[in-house]
């Protein structure tokens, strides 16, 4: 990681927490659908960055959201989980090119990008909602929340990626 | 020894993840427990401050509705006052000497959520305004929740839209009582369970708080009966209630302190100990 990368990631961390708690948590589309854009930080963390550092930072990121939301540790658990599982998902969605560290997430093939984002977002939402709901009685609600919030998050993540990609060119 | 160290180095990512995951799960489980001091809650200086700044801005957008609500409440209070005057119930004692059973404080909602299964509100009053845990929270239209955590300047409230909440409630006309719960489906509809089968219940009946708890005074408005059916055992009604309060837009609320709460709780605890 270069010093430029470090700065970008610090700014991204703080900006995403604020956007999430002040703006996105109040959308409540259809009563309960909110996007969780803050995992954009985990998705775009440099591929050659330290993996332990990513797990720790993701935990902190989730915990910050939890403190604002009064939700215990559900976001922290889900974020640490996808940070840990990220190398496996990377290998599975980008294939061999990931092994040679030649991939750049922003410039990758669209299909591969969608696979990568979709898998991580759905895993994150599933872990988060199961911990939040925490009861077998509400499994339909769990699946419904995961699906709809997941779609919302994926669309928003793609839009953010396109938006910031164009700027940097 | 060397092998143990190698093992740790090889699996350091997994071990780090496992430790953090367990901490997060512990925090989650602890937050499901109502009567525990929370390590993390939005009633702290940083989050409370940020939410206050946001609210100072967004407050202006709801001014029209707030005014309308205040007008309605004034109207209702005026009507009640004139009724009292007609009844000639003017107080003859110096009211300053009598300790009221309930004391009221006002507060502003600086954060409100209603889309989760365990919803919380954050208020801008805390310990320094003599707010304590277990105070009841109502708005001008009806019941809101119970104070669950307090910091120096902020407090969090467990909303009635929370699967952990169970509040004593009754039918206004017949005083049959049950528990108010929430099935997570709709923020405008709560459920009343354990109403006995013999209760005479109809659509549109008013539901109020029961006064059996030490938190809420008797007769705080909750909502009207939307529909009802017998539960699986055919012994109790399961009632859907249209809440009077719009839980999705709360601005100003009142906190209720019950001056007798400590005495009642100690007395009841004494009875339990004796048994």
How, if at all, do strands B167-171 and B155-162 pair?
unpaired
What per-residue confidence (pLDDT) applies to B79? 79
Going from the C-alpha of B191 to that of each of B1, B62, B90, B238, the distances in angstroms are: 60, 29, 39, 7
Going from the C-alpha of B180 to that of each of B149, B160, B167, B194, B223, the distances in angstroms are: 21, 8, 5, 9, 11
Q: Does pLDDT of A124 surpass 90?
A: yes
Q: In chain B, which residue's Cα lies nearest the Cα of A76?
A: B24
Please state, rounded to an integer, the average pLDDT across all residues of chain A.
87
What per-residue confidence (pLDDT) applies to B88? 61
Mean pLDDT, residues A28-49 taken together: 88
Q: Which residue, among A52, A70, A85, A142, would best test binding to B if mutated, counting the most B CBs under 10 Å from its CB?
A: A70
Task: Identify which of B247, B245, B166, B239 has the alpha carbon closest to the alpha carbon of residue B204.
Answer: B239
Rounded to an integer, what distance in angstroms lies between the CA atom of residue B16 and that of residue B21?
8
Give strand pairing partners of B237: B195, B230
Torsion of CA A124, A127, A130, A131, to 10 degrees: -110
Contacts of B14 in chain A (CB under 8 A): 84
Band of residue A11 on the pLDDT scale cut at 50, 70, 90: very high
Tens of pLDDT, residues B232-248: 777 888 899 999 888 88
Instruction: Answer whether A149's CB lies under 8 Å from A34's CB.
Output: yes
Only one residue has tokens 């989980």, namely A81
Rounded to an integer, what distance in angstroms lies between the CA atom of residue B190 and that of residue B178?
13
How, if at all, do strands B236-243 and B118-123 pair?
unpaired
What ipTM goes with this model?
A: 0.89
What per-residue confidence (pLDDT) applies to A80? 95
What per-residue confidence (pLDDT) applies to B123? 92
Rounded to an integer, what distance in angstroms lies between the CA atom of residue B87 and that of residue B261?
31
Which DSSP string do the residues of B175-196 spell out, in sequence order?
Answer: --EEEEE--SS-TTEEEEEEEE
Mean pLDDT, residues A99-115 taken together: 77
Tens of pLDDT, residues B150-206: 999 999 999 999 888 889 998 888 888 889 999 888 888 999 988 888 888 888 889
Q: Where are the domains of chain A?
A: 3-168
What per-residue confidence (pLDDT) applies to B275? 60
- Rg of the Cα trace of chain B? 23
First to last CA, chain B: 57
* Minimum-distance CB partner of A132 among B117, B120, B156: B117
Give strand pairing partners of B109: B123
Rounded to an integer, what distance in angstroms lies between the CA atom of residue A45 and that of residue A67?
23
Rounded to an integer, what distance in angstroms lies between the CA atom of residue A44 and that of residue B146?
41
What per-residue confidence (pLDDT) applies to A133? 84
Mean pLDDT, residues A17-29 taken together: 88
B19 touches chain A (CB under 8 A): no
User: For the stretch B5-41, what's the b/e string if a residue is b when 16 or more beta carbons lie within 10 angstroms of its beta carbon?
Assistant: eeeeeeeebeebbeebbebbbebbeebeeeeeebebb
The parts of chain B modelled with pLDDT lower than 70 are 34-40, 86, 88-100, 274-275
Torsion of CA B84, B89, B95, B99, to 10 degrees: -80
Only one residue has tokens 């040679």, namely A100
What per-residue confidence (pLDDT) applies to A169? 44
Instruction: Answer whether A161's CB lies under 8 Å from A43's CB.
Output: no
> Is the Cβ pair B120, A76 closer than 8 Å?
no
Band of residue A149 on the pLDDT scale cut at 50, 70, 90: very high
Interface of B with A in 91-120 (CB under 8 A): 111, 113-118, 120
Contacts of B184 in chain A (CB under 8 A): 133, 138, 141
> Is the Cβ pair A80, B13 closer than 8 Å?
no
């Amino acid at each position: 990681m270069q010093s430029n990368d470090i700065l970008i990631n610090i700014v991204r961390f703080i900006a995403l927490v604020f956007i999430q708690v002040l703006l996105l948590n109040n959308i409540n589309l259809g009563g309960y659908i909110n996007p969780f854009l803050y995992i954009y930080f985990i998705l775009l963390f440099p591929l050659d960055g330290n993996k332990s550092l990513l797990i720790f930072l993701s935990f902190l990121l989730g915990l910050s959201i939890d403190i604002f939301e009064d939700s215990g540790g559900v976001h922290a658990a889900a974020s640490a989980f996808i940070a840990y599982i990220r190398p496996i998902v990377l290998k599975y969605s980008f294939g061999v090119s990931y092994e040679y560290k030649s991939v750049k997430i922003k410039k990758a093939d669209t299909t591969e990008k969608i696979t990568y984002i979709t898998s991580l977002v759905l895993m994150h939402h599933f872990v988060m909602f199961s911990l939040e709901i925490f009861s077998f009685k509400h499994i339909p609600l769990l699946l419904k929340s995961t699906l709809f919030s997941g779609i919302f998050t994926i669309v928003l993540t793609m839009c953010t990626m396109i938006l910031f990609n164009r700027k940097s060119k | 020894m060397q092998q143990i160290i190698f093992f740790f180095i090889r699996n350091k990512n997994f071990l780090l993840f496992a430790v953090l995951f367990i901490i997060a799960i512990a925090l989650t489980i602890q937050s499901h427990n109502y009567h525990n001091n929370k390590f993390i809650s939005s009633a702290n200086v940083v989050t409370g401050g940020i939410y206050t700044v946001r609210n100072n801005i967004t407050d202006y957008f709801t001014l029209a509705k707030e005014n309308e609500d205040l007008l309605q409440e004034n109207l209702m209070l005026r009507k009640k006052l004139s009724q009292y005057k007609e009844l000639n119930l003017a107080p003859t004692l110096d009211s300053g000497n009598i300790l009221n059973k309930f004391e009221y404080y006002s507060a502003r909602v600086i954060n409100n959520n209603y889309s989760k299964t365990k919803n919380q509100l954050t208020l801008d009053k805390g310990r320094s305004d003599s707010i304590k845990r277990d105070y009841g929270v109502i708005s001008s239209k009806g019941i809101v929740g119970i104070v669950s955590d307090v910091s120096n300047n902020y407090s969090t409230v467990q909303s009635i839209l929370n699967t952990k909440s169970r509040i004593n409630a009754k039918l206004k006309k017949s005083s049959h009582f049950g528990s108010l719960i929430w099935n997570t489906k709709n923020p405008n509809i709560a459920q009343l369970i354990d109403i006995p089968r013999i209760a005479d219940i109809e659509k549109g009946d008013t539901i109020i708080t029961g006064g059996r708890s030490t938190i809420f005074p008797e007769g705080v408005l909750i909502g009207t009966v939307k529909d009802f059916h017998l539960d699986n055992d055919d012994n109790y009604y399961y009632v859907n209630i249209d809440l009077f309060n719009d839980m999705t837009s709360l601005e100003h609320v009142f906190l209720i302190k019950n001056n007798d709460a400590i005495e009642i709780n100690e007395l009841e605890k004494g009875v339990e100990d004796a048994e």
